[in-house]
Structure 1
Amino acid sequence: MNFAKRLKELRLELNLTQSEFAEKINSTRSTIAGYETERKEPDYSTLQSIAEFFDVSVDYLIGRTDIRNHYKIETKAYHNLDKSGLPEEAIKQIEDYIEFVKQKYNPDGTLKKKG
């Protein structure tokens, strides 16, 4: 799915008009219409704002993945993890590893570049 379709789908899930959505991200209805009809493309900053508004990754927004938010999956997986019987030290190691993995990713869910 491309950005235009994904944006419209997300907007409609929240029952927002183009005007209402535009107001929420400090844009205009015509700009949102342009995005949804593929006549315009957002700059990186706007793309991040849209992703943050819908609580999805930029990768999801542009159609590179169907996973809305990798961080939510990680958090849910951790809370569903059966930690019973593990010593506190082992639980701490698991938490440290999760933090290590999170540091490898940008807020939009993309892998950070090395260097």
Structure 2
Amino acid sequence: MEFGERLRDLREEKNLTRHVLASKLNVSYSTVSKYETNIRFPDKETLVALADFFDVSLDYLLCRSNIRDTADKTLSKCKEQFLVSSSRNSYSTNEDLSPEAIEEIEKFKEFLQHKYRKK
């Protein structure tokens, strides 16, 4: 998947037209169209605005990850799950975890691997 397709998918998920998204970003309709067809690439400020607007990570927006959540969201979810688990004094094994909890752990693991990978 390329950036343009990801942007189009996010826009369509919110049922927005290109005109409406262009207005929110203070760019022209044709600029959004060029982003979505990979003819043009947004500058840094526009990328951040897009990620904030769609509430996704920059890595997700740029197709570097399939994890939508921002780092803050991911950490918050993990912290919440840890606190709930700790408050019950349950140090569960994977068999005791719901599929959703296991998925969150895997997402957090992927996030940490991406964050701390060797360059």
> TM-score, normalized by length of structure 1?
0.70
Counterpart in 2 of 1:36? Answer: 36
In structure 1, stretches of 5+ residues that fail to align are 87-109
Bigger helix fraction: 2
Query: Higher RCO, 1 or 2 (CA under 8 Å, sep at least 6)?
Result: 1
Identical amino acids, percent of aligned pairs: 42
Q: Report the RMSD for the aligned CA atoms in angstroms.
A: 1.9
Q: Distance in 2 between matches of 1:11 and 1:40?
A: 17
**Large movers: runs of 4+ above 3 Å:** none
Counterparts in 2 of 1:3-22, with a 5 A limit? 3-22=3-22
Counterpart in 2 of 1:71? Answer: 72
Counterpart in 2 of 1:84? Answer: 87
Question: In 2 relative to 1, CA 19–84 (structure 1 residues): closer, same or farther, beyond 3 Å?
Answer: same
Counterpart in 2 of 1:45? Answer: 45
> TM-score, normalized by length of structure 2?
0.68
In structure 2, stretches of 5+ residues that fail to align are 90-113
Q: Which secondary structure state, in structure 2, belongs to the residue aligned with residue 53 of structure 1? A: helix
**One-letter amino acid of the counterpart of residue 14, structure 1:** K
Counterpart in 1 of 2:107? Answer: none
Per-residue displacement from partner, 1:28-56 (whole Å, max 9, x unpaired)? 11100000011111011111111111111
Deviation at 1:71, TM superposition (A): 2.3
